[in-house]
Amino acid sequence: MRSLPSPRWRRQATAALALVAVSGALASGTAYAADYERLVNGSFSAGSADPWWASAGVSNRVTNGELCATVTGGTVNPWDSLIGQNGVPFEAGQSYTMSFDAYASVARPAAAVAGEGVSPYRQIAKHDVALTTTKQHFTFTFTSELDFPDAGPGQVTFHLGAQAADTTVCVDNVSLVGGVKPPGGDPANPPKKINVNQVAYVPGLPKQATLTSDALTAQTWALKNSAGTTVATGQTVPKGSVDPESGDSTHLIDFSSYDTAGTGYTLTVGTETSFPFDIATDQVKKLRYDSLAYFYHNRSGIPIEAQYVGEQYARPAGHLNVAPNQGDNNVPCLATITCGYTLDVRGGWYDAGDHGKYVVNGGISAWQVLNTYERAKLIGDAAALGDGKLNIPEKANGVPDILDEARWEVEFLLKMQAPDGMVHHKIHDQNWTGLPLLPHQDPQARRLSATSTAATLNTAAVAAQAARIWKTIDPTFSAKALAAATKAYAAAKANPNKIADPNDGTGGGSYSDATLTDEFYWAAAEMFATTGESTYRTDLTSSTHYKGKSLTTRGFDWGSTGPLGDITLALVPNGLPAADVAAIKSAFTGVADSLLTQMAGQAYPAPYRPTEGYDWGSNGLVANNISVLALAHDFTGAAKYRAGVFQGLNYLLGRNPMSYSYVSGYGDQAVKNVHHRHWANQLDPTLPNAPAGALSGGPNSALQDPIAARLLTGCKAQKCFVDHIEAYSVNEVTVNWNSALAWIANWAAEKVTTAPPVDTTAPSTPGTPVASDITTTGAKLTWTASTDAESGVKEYDVISVEGDALRVVATVTSPSATLTGLRPDTAYSFTVVAKNGANLRSAMSPQASVRTKPDVVAGYCKVTWQASSWSTGMSVNVTVTNTSAQAWNGWKLEFTMPGNQKITQGWSATWAQSGQAASATNLSWNRTLAPGASTGIGFNSSGSGSTTPPTDFRVNGNPCTAG
């Protein structure tokens, strides 16, 4: 994840000669078709240049609300030096007006150009201007002969080259207005009404989906196989309130009882149908390897070969000093830093959609990949992660492939260590590069940022972890890693507050973190687990993070690393007291229980609910919280945590309000247009989309890029997402989000082949029911909830005790039930039994005695019925009169509908009908009726049979006279 914007620039700018050679269709005085602004951030009012990019030899900055470009002199052609914006939509045959303010440090020419940003670089229009040192306003109108969609290859640039000396050009109020289609328009893929895990539900586990519907009553669902045959049906459960995270009114569809493996299932409700899905385990097992393949795809300093990834993803090595690269083998520090040396930092993983390599993000990523193996070796299935399991060059070297992949990053982290033991925070381009741009085509100079305490502790932690894992695999490498870890830890202790500069965000994200106690705790945990030395033990046990104190329901990430130390201490044998290790494990189960409780109340369950909106990289936080559920299962064996893991995966794989699988290549509507410089098919059709197994960052309420801000303003938290390559704050991919996905995918693949533990313990006995809201025909019962540590409490049966007979009168999922249909003035005895996920039943609760209220009040009401009927229905006006001596503060009219009439429309009341039982409940404006007062209501119905007025009118349970 970047903390600053990422400008974009086209590949092979020198080929722009072809662009200039094609004349644009300039028009004079032609009115534009619609006032649609095509450019983003043309005013630069937010202080950012994003998404305007600069080519090599040009440096952008925003000063006093203007974009000023420093242009290096000595270039041959005007198009050798550019600033521009990609993804600009144009419509063939439509008129456009471009305007801008501009001036320069010296009088000089420039040109504003609209055209195509990739080969063959066709030009739409070009307007030459003469800049002076005084700001001028320029405008020109043209008609486009080319058609480029949103986020396509359309482009606007300023040609600033062909000057002998260095100059500065400033532009402001850049606008391109015209066309008839609004940018963004309607979503390319509107959300489904039925949202499912688009990949696979696992046999033997809960299977649930979400229906978006305003219906207040249960709806019938049908599960159909690939042939379209209905194999199961049931009733939805209305959630009863609008879901705050999506804004949707929803129903739950639970088809857990159907467990036949197969492919191509769909769910239908009425005319709505879900995306297809499987009931199987194969795709879950495949995801473990696809998610790990992400890292080879993003290796730096090595060719990515077709034999491992296929022809479309193969590419030359990047950043090896092969032109136009300036390379990573001899990288100096930033000009603002005096370090006196260069470093060879070839290798490692490109961090995200850019070409930067960041130690604090690489640290957690490498750690999670290594921990995936270490956990499996200690308590899981390490055989599935052995040599030959991944398609990488090292797949036949006798070392588990997952370790080979992680080592590519660990070696890079060690190279980032300075002579004094501190570690440089990051290495990336001197200026931002743009999309699309393959690594081997990057012409920018590379620079090291300053060392930081956070980077140093990340390296200490990961190097100590690596030393432990490679101790018997490669003793030499293990010793090298431990030496680096020891030196880094000591350097960090000597420099405990060297914070990365939050303003160091040109060419790469700053990744600044002002709180380092969690990194110190994590590093101490790894050093102690590897060495057992007392110094590290003291640092560890004296930390405020000790024993799981930093675990929260928000989740952990690169800036919150304390839980990584907890995971190591809970898994790796060490010399800590057993009670302390138990306390760490208890912290995981405590947070896991909170996550399960939270998910139970969500329409689209995800183990993540921040207090204010969703964060950048919310899917990474979801994935890390899924790992907390997984570890809680590891520590307890409780089936409820295992079920929670797969419920969280359901969200990532399609059961969300956007109807997207956030994992590329998985599901019928998987993300394709992730923000990435060489998975950029949306901008350049010759480049591929993301390969299978890449996790998109997902919804981000802050909308921290111009495209998201343009398209998603006002979105609910889970709907702040668009599958758009330029929307980097919601659709970027990174090594640390994919390391989280790889961890949970490997855990899930392991567990689908492992039978869940058998729950043999019944739930605890529910508390004594307490009655309230007693009426003539009903009452509300509440009781203290049961508990069940293994499979969880699934539901409660409310039982009427009638002599020696027991009768279930209600089944509910929460410790409260509203009973109806009781007899007036009658004594009842009720008890409650809990049932868990293994269908084991608790003992009966103590009984509660309830007597309903007496029957009726004489002379309570009068009802007048006036009907106009026809062959297929009728229209009825009803007058309800209060004939009692007391005012009504709320009323409900009930009666039996004549014939087979069904209410189709009602007014002046809330109407409901079940079978032929009909009712009308007051609205707010006619809620109160004084003695003698009346209100008029009515309805239309369809049907046939008798239209004779009903004879059983009742208001609030009291019989009425018919007028």
675 is catalytic: yes
Any catalytic annotation for residue 726? no
Tokens 């083998």: give the residue: 329
State how far the alpha carbon of 912 is from the alpha carbons of 215, 217, 927, in Å: 12, 10, 17
Residue 662: CB partners within 8 Å, gap ≥ 6? 619, 652, 653, 656, 670, 671, 695, 696, 698
Question: Of 742, 828, 814, whose CA–CA distance to 782 is shortest?
Answer: 814
Helix (H, G, I), strand (E, B) or coil at 686: coil
Nearest to 500 by CA among 448, 566, 440: 448
Residue type for position 762:
A
Question: What would the two tokens of residue 254 be?
Answer: 């639970």
- Those residues with Cβ within 8 angstroms of residue 30's Cβ, 6 or more apart along the chain or in another chain: 95, 141, 143
Catalytic residue among 116, 351, 354, 401: 354
Considering 328, 566, 723, 726, which one is annotated as catalytic?
Answer: 723
Report the run of H or E that residue 943 belongs to, with start and end: none
DSSP H helical ranges for 427-577 = 453-469, 475-494, 517-531, 534-541, 562-571
- Identified catalytic residue from 732, 788, 797, 894: 732
Among candidate residues 650, 668, 601, the one with its CA nearest the CA of residue 273: 668
Angle between helices 453-469 and 401-415 in degrees, nearest 10: 140
**Do 448 and 334 contact (CB within 8 A), yes or no?**
yes
Residues 428, 781: Cα–Cα separation, whole Å? 64
User: What is the rounded distance in angstroms from the CA atom of residue 645 to the CA atom of residue 385?
Assistant: 20
Q: Which secondary-structure segment (H or E) carries 752?
A: helix 735-752
Q: Which of 137, 138, 142 is nearest to 128 (CA)?
A: 138
State the sign of the Cα–Cα–Cα–Cα dihedral 161, 162, 164, 169: negative
Comparing C-alpha atoms, which of 510, 513, 620 is closest to residue 559? 513
Return all residues near 42 (Cβ < 8 A) that are at least 6 apart: 100, 173, 174, 175, 176
Q: Which residues of 522-533 are buried (b: 16+ CB within 10 A; e: fewer)?
A: bbbbbbbbbbee
The CA R_g of the chain, rounded to the nearest whole Å, is 33
Which residues are within 8 A (CB) of 924 and not within 5 positions of it... i.e. 6 or more apart? Answer: none
- And the tokens for 630? 């997984």
Does 120 sit behind a cis peptide bond, omega within 30 degrees of 0 on the bond before it? yes
**CA 427 – CA 327 distance, rounded (Å):** 11
Please answer whether residues 275 and 654 qualify as being in contact, where contact means their C-beta atoms are separated by less than 8 angstroms.
yes
Q: Is 80 annotated in the active site?
A: no
Going from the C-alpha of 309 to that of each of 122, 295, 316, 686, the distances in angstroms are: 32, 11, 13, 17
Calpha distance 280→654 (Å, rounded): 16
Active site residue 66: no
Tokens 């930081």 locate to 452
Structure tokens at 661: 């699988």
Helices (H) and strands (E) in the chain, counts: 16, 45
Task: Considering the candidates 319, 355, 675, 678, report the single residue annotated as catalytic.
Answer: 675
Are the C-beta atoms of 710 and 729 separated by less than 8 Å? no
Those residues whose C-beta lies under 8 Å from the C-beta of residue 323, and which sit 6 or more positions away, are: none
Q: Which residue carries 């208890």 as its tokens?
A: 586
Strands 277-279 and 200-201: parallel
Mind telling me the catalytic residues?
354, 675, 723, 732
